[in-house]
Amino acid sequence: MLVVDDGSTDGTSEYLSSLAAIDSRVKHVRLEENTGLPAYALAQAYPLATGTYFAWLFDDCQLEPDHLETLVGRLQREPGLGMVYAQAQAQLAGDRSFVIGGPLDMDAMSEGANSIPNACVVLPRSTIDRIGWYDPHIILKRLCDWDLWLRVAAEFEIGYEEKILATEFGVGLPGSLGRLNRENGALALKYSRTSRNHRLAPTSLRLEDAYSSDIGIDLEPEERATLHTALLEHQMFTLDTAGAVETASKMSALGLMGLEHDRPNRRGRPTGESKIDDLFTAIVAYTRKRIEEDASSLIRMEVAARDALRAADQRMDELSSVSAQLAESQVEQGRLASALADAPSRVEKSPAEHFDVELARELAETKYSLFIFRDAADRRLEMIRALELQLAERVQDAGKTQSSTEGAPATINRATDSRRNASRKRKPR
């Protein structure tokens, strides 16, 4: 275990020294001054590394017990892979969290998206020998891991394990590197597309190279301002006063401070009268820009939230209207079904077309029940007709055996007429 101590001042150095003294497996790598660049700091441990594989554990992460077993095991089973990674649980404030990591999407990653958690990666030494180390340049301070994955993917196949093997707490810490530092996304993306593997061997990295203005790109004025602002930000956070003064002077000479550059002059002091003025003006310009960016982000979030709430309210109104219409339709269907049951013989046309698909299905079931009812009614009518015929025949037979009277033919005729009328009315349907 190689523990890199990047200029700590909180007792970490003393603790690690005491631990290394009693356990020879622990190697304490101490940097006396804080570099603030994880890529460069990690490279200082490389000369002491003797293993075949490299894995990382950062001060705001925890690894699961089967982390190495799972990832190293995959590389041993598939030695052709240039890298393997898994998922991490990103812990926010309280109990809220989300999962980082998914199948590799090179289209998204090549445009700046990163779906590979740094704490859940294992690299073979052979990959580092071919690709090089994390690039420590300040323009990639927050994105050096994403840049390395892109460079590996350009040369090797990458393996993925759908399993949570670490917890990352940095996303929920306001003082973490990712929260404090800007991404410089557009310039970082442009820089990532340059060829650099040949100069990124871990043993050849120099700290001064991390601050170089020559990054192999013809910079536009806005990009040059972004580069110098990133350097000033880094020097502020690492308390590099001398470096910050020098950067501020360069920004002043290049006219990269915007309107802030003229403020001392408007107060009766010549612009650039002292390097301290330049530094103070540069810090004000940086702070103003960060505050404006944060405010713009909050405004966009507020607009998005309000739009979402408005859309939700509109959707609720629509659902309420549809629910009311459905309730009215169901009431109408119940009324109609009741009417059909009370007077089945008077219904000539199905009203299913007046309802939606679900109501039409229910109405069809009601109609089927009605047909069964009408069939039973027709059978009863047939029975009544048969009884009437029998009655008429008996009356006729009785008339033949009796003496002729004036009333008998009338009775027979009435029975005959009744039978004839019944036959005419009850035609089969």
Per-residue DSSP letters for 371-382?
HHHHHHHHHHHH
CA distance 337 to 356: 16
pLDDT of residue 44: 95
Helix (H, G, I), strand (E, B) or coil at 53: strand
Given a cut of 60, whether residue 268 has pLDDT beyond it is: no
pLDDT of residue 74: 97
Give, in order, the Cα–Cα distances in Å from 6 to each of 9, 18, 35, 117. 9, 17, 7, 22
Residue type, 99: V
Name which residue leads in pLDDT, 99 or 94. Answer: 99
pTM recorded for the entire structure: 0.68
pLDDT of residue 130: 96
Given a cut of 70, whether residue 152 has pLDDT beyond it is: yes
Average per-residue pLDDT for the chain: 81
Question: Which range among 28-32, 64-68, 351-355 shows the weakest confidence by mean pLDDT?
Answer: 351-355
Q: What is the mean pLDDT of residues 259-265?
A: 54
Q: What is the mean pLDDT of residues 41-51?
A: 93
Q: Let me know: does 69 contact 147? Beta carbons within 8 Å.
A: no
For the packed helices 241-253 and 221-237, what is the interaxial angle rounded to 10 degrees?
160
Residue type, 95: D
pLDDT of residue 414: 39
Question: Which range among 76-85, 227-236, 269-278, 390-399 shows the weakest confidence by mean pLDDT?
Answer: 269-278
Residue written as token pair 């593997």: 197
pLDDT of residue 292: 80
pLDDT of residue 133: 97
DSSP readout, 91-105?
E-STT-EEEE--S--
Structure tokens at 296: 């713009």
Residue written as token pair 């998922």: 87
CA distance 395 to 386: 14
Q: Parallel, antiparallel, or unpaired for β 83-91 and 2-6?
A: unpaired
Q: Let me know: does 180 contact 67? Beta carbons within 8 Å.
A: no
Q: What is the mean pLDDT of residues 265-282?
A: 67
Pick the CATH number of 35-214 from 3.40.50.300, 3.90.550.10, 3.30.465.10, 3.40.120.10: 3.90.550.10
